[in-house]
Every structure is written in C-alpha cells, then in structure tokens.
Amino acid sequence: MKLTTPTSTDSPVSATTQHQRRRLVAPGLAAAVAAAVATTLVAVISKGAGVDFADSSGEEIPLFAFAQLTLTFSLIGLAVAAGIRRWGKRPATTFLRTALALTAISLVPPFLIGLDLASSACLVVAHLTAAAIVIPTLTRSLGTPSVSLP
C-alpha cells in the first residue's frame, strides 16, 4: 500500500478560487460594517433632527436595529454575490442588476409599516446609503459590469 501526501494541487479548492473568495469576502465584509455604521449615523442624525421612528402604536425602531439589519442584509448580499460569481456568466452585471432591483423593492416597506412621512423618508435614505456603499464594492469585486442603458 502506497501512501501519498497531499499537495496543493490535490486540494478541492484551487489557489485561484481562494484568491477570488478573498477578493470578494474581505471588501464585502468591510462594506457591510461601513454601511452599518453609516445607516446608524443616518438614524442618529435623523433623531437629532426630531424624527422618532415610531409607528402608529408608539413602537419605536431602536438605533441598534439599523446596524443589525444593515449587517444582516449586507451579508445576504455578499452571499448572493458569491453565488452569482460561482454560477453566473457575467457576475458583475448580473449582481448589479439584481442588487439594484432589490434596493428598489426595499424602498417600498418604509411607507407601509405605519411610520410618519419623515420617518419613512429617513428609512429610505438609510437604505440608499447602505446600497451606495455595498453595491459598488461588491460589483467591483466581481469585475467590470457590462450594463448598457436603453
């Protein structure tokens, strides 16, 4: 019986794949944290300006929820980007289109959860702030998008 030692070429994950993961994951995590900080700052500034983020029953959105939800959905976006990179033909373009569509959809619920107009508008600003940080970072990490406008 002959024993062999594994080599780097025997690894199921090639060095190129590991490099691609690092090129996506590290910037994606940094963008998620930056977006969480930014959306929390939007909330703090909004509260300082008199926005209370309370719905019609008086239930208020706590500040930590801004960071928590931004991190959660940014990590979901990172997972979507990783899946698109693995299975998509044009990952940067596909991710950009997907992320922009999901961002557009995310702008509707703030107006449906019973907040006043100022609170809803500030939530929209928070969504757009997070998107402005995370989407370009992940798109760049996936390559150059080939998006043509009509």
Q: What is the pLDDT of residue 11?
A: 52
Which residues lie closer than 8 Å to 110 by C-beta, 6 or more apart?
119, 120, 121, 123, 124, 127
Structural domain boundaries in the chain: 22-142
Q: What is the pLDDT of residue 146?
A: 72
pLDDT tens per residue, range 86-129: 998 999 999 999 999 999 999 999 999 889 999 999 999 999 99
Buried residues in 124-136 as b, exposed as e (16+ CB within 10 A): bbbbebbbebbbe
pLDDT tens per residue, range 28-53: 999 999 999 999 999 999 999 999 99
Please state, in angstroms and rounded to a whole number, the distance separating the CA atoms of residues 65 and 38: 13
Count CA within 13 A, CB hemisphere, residue 71.
Answer: 11
pLDDT tens per residue, range 73-86: 999 999 999 999 99
